[in-house]
Structures are given as structure tokens and as C-alpha cells.
Structure 1
Amino acid sequence: MPKIADQLTDRKVAALREPGRYAVGGVPGLHLRITPSRAKSWILRVKVGNLRRDIGLGSYPFVTLARARDEAFEMRKRIRDGVDPLAQKREIRQAIQAQQAGDKTFQECATAYIEAKAPEWKNPKHRQQWENTLKQYAYPVMGKLAVADIDLSHILAVLEPIWTTKTETASRLRGRLENVLDWAIVRKYRVRENPARWKGHLDTILPAKGKVQKVEHHTAMPIDAMKSFWRNLTAREGMSARALQFVILTAARSGEVRGARWDEIDLNAKVWTVPGDRMKAGREHRVPLSAEAIKLLKALPRLGDSPFVFPAPRAGQLSDMSLTAVMRRMGQEAVPHGFRSTFRDWVGERTNYPRELAEQALAHTLTNKVEAAYRRGDALEKRLKMMDAWAQFLTTPATSGDIIELRRVG
């Protein structure tokens, strides 16, 4: 029979200060342990099979003397019944962890991954790019889903709509999905394979990034027709007409202009910074603003709390068709995107600016090594001079030799 110690009282437990282990009494093997820092906790020393074990029952005073005795008594009873209390506690803890893992959403995992990896990212904008692409494309589809349940169908629902139209963005996004899901696997939040893996998996379903056909041909306006068109466009009212003017002045894509926000524009620095998640190539693009572009922006009304430079009449941004509709009402069959081709033709045929500078202004993906080397700096000052010259060409009255008739549709 184990020796039963003299029973400690609540008053004695509270009064004890010396570090050490004190037999509590009342239940064999129950002790009060006091550390050098005077923290107190309950320990039950028992023999399970051939092993002697110390089982923690909690700290004092959170666990009272009476409760410690009750739990120690129940623990000894379970041991007599053949239960290993430590193994049982471990199983309960693992079950709780499994339940918590099953409840972990993709968005929670993505947020935790970004927090963990952000310190190693040298460019502070890298974090913002991660958050923006996930928020725009991934979270609406699977942000609230348990990360353990995400499968191929969810990955394709995110990637397929943009794989052939925004291939660079989609490819970066796929890599980010894969990283988050790998993190979740390592953290035991999911046990299934990674459905966002490319090699040997998605590469059998989606076309390779480098083989996606990106070339599109858009009806463009002849260079010599631009002056007359610009004059007529300037006379038209409405936000869509102003947005179309900005498209022409900046040689930007229609979608980039329609989504432009005031916080992207620095009027003093004469620059518009388009974030990578809104660019076709997935890279941030700085657009120099000519004096004419600055003049246009300063004349725009600020409508309520809208963040958009060119807001739609009923909030939000202008639709894709709104700019095309302006041209149709003016009797033109050219399309807004075609002005980029007109700008490039103007640079090549009417100026001495290098072709590479025009390609950079258009934010085109450069494959030639010389052009790619040119890309290493964004040549903002040189591009500003070029865009000022373009604006001057548009706004300078045409001479008789410059005028050509604009053919109307219909």
C-alpha cells in the first residue's frame, strides 16, 4: 500500500513558498510542485504498466486543491481500469487539432502564409501583389472553403477564366495557390495532394504559358485621321468620352483606364502607376502623363466617394462597351484598343523615338534580348517627352495636307 501523506489544507498550500515537491495527501502520489519562480502546479506520480509517470493536473490556484484531489482520484481509477491517461490526453489533443485543421479555410491559410513569408520578400509591394491577386481571383471562389476540401475543380474555377486572357497573372496566381496549399499540407491542415501543382498535373490540362496565343488584331485609325477625330472627340460630353481621350493620350489599354483610381495618379510627379494585378503582363507599369493628360485629369469632376478616375454614372467603373459606344456614335468602325496600334505607327513613321521606347510605353511583353535589356529601366523621362510629343501631334490643328476624310459606318 502506498503511503498516504498528511493532508495539506488550502491555507498550507497558499502559504508554501520554498521550491520543491510536497505530498498533498488524500490521494496517493499527488504532489504540489513549486518552481524557483514560486509557480505552483499539481503533479500526480503513478505507475502505468511498468512505467512510472508524472501527470500534470494544472496550475494552482487555477486548479484548486479540492479539484486536484478529485482529478487525481479519477485518474487513478482509470489506470486501475486499464486506461493510459497520457495516451488518452494525446488522442484527445490530436482529435482537437484535426477538427481545427478541418475548419481552417483557404483564406486563413493564405493570410498565415503571407504573414510567415513576408519578412523574406525584399520588395514591400510583393506582399500587396499577393494579397491583390488572391482577393480578386481566388477568394471569391474558394476563400471560405476548408483548405482540406479544395480539389482540382476549385483550382480550375479560379484559373481557367483568365488563363488565356491574362496568362502572366494566371501563371503567377497558380504558383501562389500551390505555395499556400503546400504550406497547409506541411502544417497538417490537409492530407490530400496539391491540386495546384503544375508538373505532371495541371500541365496536362492547361496550355503552357509560353504557347498561349496572345496576338490580337484590332481595327486601328489611320495616323492622319487622328487630328480630326481628336477634335470631334474633345467636343463630345460625358465621362466615356473623357476616358477615351485618356486612352489615346496614354496609349493604355481600355481596361487599365476604366479601372484607373485616383490613388494611382500623382499629378505633381506626372505619373500614373498601374498595379501589376491590373496589367496584362502582371507587372506594375508607370505611365508618364503629358501636359494634355494632366489638363484633362484636373478638369474631371470628383463624383462622391468613388475611387475611380472615370466612374460610371451609377457608381462603379465604366463598362467595356462604353468607350466603343462613343466611337460608334461618332460613326467610327475602329475600336479603342486600335489606338495603341495607331500610336505605335506614329512613333515608327513620324518620329525618331526608338521602337523599344514605344513598346515600353505600350507595356508589351518583350522577347528580344535587346528590348528586354531596354526594359531594365522604365525610361520614364524619355517616355514623358514622347507622350508630350504625341499629345502635341493630336492637339495641333491639321494642315490641308494632313486632313483625310473619316469614313462613317453604315
Structure 2
Amino acid sequence: MKKKLTSRYIDTVTAPGPKRLDVYDQALTGFGVRVSTSGRKTWFCSTRVNGRMKRMKIGTYPALSLADAREHAKATLRDIQLGVEPTATTPALGDVVPQFIELYARPRNRGWREQQRLLEQKWCGLFTTPIDQIQRGAVVRILDQMIADGAPGRANNALATLKKLLNWCLDRGMIDINPIAGLKPPTKPKARDRVLTDPEISRFLLAAEDEGYPFGTLAKLLLLTGQRRGEVSEMRWSQVDFETATWTIPSERAKNGIAHDVPLSQPVIDILQGLPRFAGSDFVFTTTGKTPVSGFGRAKDRLNDAMGASDWRLHDLRRTAASGMARIGVAPHIIEKVLNHKSGVISGVAAVYNRYSYADEKCEALRLWSKEIQALTCSMSKGCGRSLGSLTSNETSIESLGFTRISSG
């Protein structure tokens, strides 16, 4: 894309997504700005050096103004035309992150979006630092700030992701040493045991009802099915069989790599049949039609405010479902099958020889659990004077999302 670059344009330009945007200056050939999906703006100039195109980073905006960046690009391009070859520079962390996500994380890890979010949000303070100049002390200071902000678990995850990126750079010869090799997690990981109480479940259902599609509806399914957030958020209509009341999670999308059939209780079927389908899209939960829904942070904040509680996570709904099924008498090994756990009650030699699917038992477990949830819903409805029907989702204005309703299930 070519455009006359002005200070006003640089201030307001954004990447339309899902990819970054390169804008070349009409006034100076080879000079331009790269705008990342996170909003970071990097000046660059590109030209042929020894017969090959070479792209050189100049700096970032607003640390370097448009006028200064253009003058720097002029000087660099002039030197190249005079035969002065530019000195090779090590890429900055901000330039390496998209390469790491596209070439390594995305093809190998279903949780690549979380890795991308951690890198872009927690390590943005080092984005202008060349990767061979990242200092251990700078990393530790950022981790200390995360802990001071009350996010020790997130600090552990952020460190693990940065380590993985730098090890990838080491393997590719981009750096000669990993500056944080051997750096231990700042806090000892704690196994979570948070389970929502019955009053909290009632407030959660009411909050999810008010939130509506897509996040509120998705949250209901997390509680009713006990499946993982990534699996539910990436649900596809082609994986749902309403005739057999089954949702099949393929092996490539299951965390443990094992295909999983999830029986759908009647409340779940009612919810799904009440949802919109968008033309040309197979995603059940989407706001673009092209990708599954993402960005759960703000939706979770709204649920927190409505519930009056913030010390819970979406993954706690899975634990709540497991604990609730145990409370109403579902056997532990059936709960393991519902959750699609590879190890647990049935393990070792027994797991090798026991190939029974427990389909009927799983179906009954989720039926009983939905019945328990419906009982809470009825109690809540009487207490607050509102009718929530059979847990079906609020009707959403599909036109407001920019799509046309073509079917309801």
C-alpha cells in the first residue's frame, strides 16, 4: 500500500487485521511504516543491496518522529547508492514475535493465541530491544512488576513463553546465547481448586444471560458441558449432530490429542438451536464469520461485575462441573470420560485394555448435571423475579454484528 505519509495519518492509522499493515511513502521511494495488529508502528526502508531486496528497520513511532525517520531513511538510501553497504543489525524482539508465532507457535500449539497475547502485552516494554541485547535483569524487573500487580501465575506463563521464543531464536542462529536460560519461575505454581458455589452458579447464569451472544452463551456451555474454553470457543457446526445429540471434538483440537464425543443435554441443544448461523461460516461462536471468537478479558470483567466476584476463572467452570457431577453421584471414572482426561481413575494397563466408550454413562452424567443446573435456574428465577426459561440464550441482533441470519439450527 502506498500513501503520502503525514503526522496525522501516522497518529491514526491502524492495521485492519488479521495481518500487519505495511504503508510505503509516496514522497520517498523505499521508506515506509509497518503497523502491527497490536498498534506498534515501526519505520523501515527497503532497497536492493547487491541485487537482493533488503529491508532495514529505522526505529519506532512515536520515539522517532516522521520527519526524523524520513531523514534517516534518506541517509541510508543515499549511502547504499554510493556503495556503502548497511551494517547488519539484529532484529528487535517486536520484529521477532510475529515470526515466532507464524513459524513455530501456530503450527504446533493450540494455545498459540495465548502465547501471542502474553508476548505482546507482557513483553512490549522490550519490543525495541535487539534480541541479542535483552538483559536478564530487565526481564526480572518486568516479572517483579507482574507479581506486584497481583498476577504471579501470569508471570510464570509469561516467562515460559519468552523462554520458548528465545530458545527458538537460539536454534535458528539469531542469537548465540539465551540470556534467561535457567531463570526459574518467579513463584511456585499452585494447583487451583476454585469451585463456584451454588449461589455463585446462580449469579453466573444470570450474568451470562444478560451478556448474551457470543460470550455469555459460550460461558453457559462451558458450565453445562465441562469442556475446555478453547474447545468450546472453536466449536464448529459441522461437528454438531443434532440427530444423535452429539458434539465431536476432533483429535487435532483436543488438548490430549484424543477425539472426544460430547453428549449434548437438552438445555445445550436448546441453546445451540437458538443461535444464529452466519453465511459461509462454520464457527458457532464468531463475530467476524472468519475466525472463532476471542478476547475474553473484557467479557470476563463484565461477568465479574455482574456477579460481584472476580476470584474465579473461566476454567473453574470445568472444575465446577466435575465437582457438581461428583456431588450428584456420578462415578469418578465417568467424570474423567466426560472431561476427556487421558489419565486419572482408569490408567496404566487398565487404560490400555479398556476401550469402552462409556457413551451412555457420559450422556446420563451430563443429563443429570443439566438437571441440577436447571434446578438452580428455577430457584434463581423465583428469587429474582425473572424467567430464564430453559437456559436458552438471549436473542441477539445479528444485523448489529454485520451478518445475515440464514438458519437457526
TM-score interval w.r.t. the shorter chain? 0.3 to 0.5
- TM normalised by structure 1 equals 0.46
Largest Rg, 1 or 2: 1
